[in-house]
Structure 1
């Protein structure tokens, strides 16, 4: 059976203004996560970085 049923792999974080967007991006980069900014939807997409087994 699975050890962990759910893990926070990716999330879409909404923001209100430019200052919010910058703060969210700083926080997610500090966590070492992959981010994309989708300005049309006012969302910061944040995902866990994946490593290939061959790269380890």
Structure 2
């Protein structure tokens, strides 16, 4: 289960997810789903490092 803290006061907001490490991307998928439920119109992802396990998916 993923919970996002804080309140978004307007719909159609833009979200940016910043992370330092990605292994398989599951956390990003859950976060994207939750942000869309909250009304995000655009979601961007920036990752500084991906492990080779990302290619297993």
Larger Rg, first or second structure (1 or 2): 1
* TM-score between the two structures when normalised by the length of structure 1: 0.39
TM-score normalized by the length of structure 2: 0.39
Q: Which structure's relative contact order is higher, taking Cα pairs within 8 Å and 6+ residues apart?
A: 2
